[in-house]
Amino acid sequence: MLTPSTLENLIEALRCLPGVGPKSAQRMAYHLLQRDRQGAQRLVDTLQEALQTLKHCQRCNTFTEAEICDRCLSPKRDPSLLCVVETAVDLNMMEQTQAYSGLYYVLMGRMSPLDGIGPRELLLDSLLTRVSDGVVREVILATNFTNEGEITAHYVSEMLKSRGLRVSRIARGVPVGGELEYVDSGTLAQAMRERKSLLD
């Protein structure tokens, strides 16, 4: 039998989704229970499967079922180019532009001193290892044009100074304060093509 606390737990659990407040969570819970129990079961099953099988690629950190993702292993990608993005969503956005054929490194976040997220919380040590493989020639910083994204780009470019790499930043076709996730493909493609060198 469904006790009130079970329902409350469900509503509370749904609030972990971005942008979902108490009211939407309640609507979702009732919708799943009343109108779409099959959908709810599918959600449970696929979520569980995803949690069990998806892990981070050992080279680029994006989600994959293998140790190293297909993209990192693809002979069609240019391994001398490494594009640094904040999230796996940003990686997908960049891929959709079809303007880039190099590899990626996903930081899984951005520096945010106010929230206590510094270099150590991001995967910057392994980025340093990643770019030191002797194959990477250019690191393209494609973090967001928000304060945090700019701080992150600045930090990484300083970190890569005097390592004999070209370091560039995607161009400002992306508006100030802009997050890659919300920029259209054409603008993002142009920003990639017109990227500016940072350390010359």
Instruction: Give the integer Cα–Cα distance in Å for 166 and 68.
Output: 25
| Binding-site member from 11, 28, 32, 57 for Zn ion (CB under 5 A) | 57
Question: How many chain residues are in contact with Zn ion, going by CB under 5 A?
Answer: 5
| Binding-site member from 60, 84, 160, 198 for Zn ion (CB under 5 A) | 60
Q: Decide whether 95 or 112 has the Cβ nearer to Zn ion.
A: 95
Q: Per rule CB under 5 A, is residue 156 in the interface with Zn ion?
A: no
Let me know if 190 is exposed, middle or buried by CB neighbors in 10 A (0-12, 13-18, 19+). Answer: middle
Q: Decide whether 59 or 130 has the Cβ nearer to Zn ion.
A: 59
Instruction: Give the integer Cα–Cα distance in Å for 108 and 198.
Output: 23
Q: Per rule CB under 5 A, is residue 130 in the interface with Zn ion?
A: no
The mark string for 9-48 relative to Zn ion (x by CB under 5 A, - otherwise) is ----------------------------------------
For the chain, what is the radius of gyration of the CA atoms?
20
Nearest approach in angstroms of CB 93 to Zn ion is 16
Nearest approach in angstroms of CB 74 to Zn ion is 10
Q: Could you tell me if 103 and 91 are in contact, meaning their C-beta atoms sit under 8 angstroms apart?
A: no
Within 8 A by CB and 6+ apart from 111, the residues are: 117, 118, 119, 122, 148, 151, 152, 155
Sign of CA dihedral 123, 91, 187, 139: positive
Interacting positions 62-81 with Zn ion (CB under 5 A): 69, 72
Q: Which stretch binds Zn ion (CB under 5 A): 34-42, 53-61, 105-113, 135-143?
A: 53-61
Q: Please name the amino acid found at residue 188.
A: L
Q: Per rule CB under 5 A, is residue 59 in the interface with Zn ion?
A: yes
DSSP string, 147-184: HHHHHHHHHHHHHTTTSS-EEEE--TTSPTT--GGGS-
Nearest approach in angstroms of CB 174 to Zn ion is 24
Task: Give me the residues that bind Zn ion (CB under 5 A), please.
Answer: 57, 59-60, 69, 72
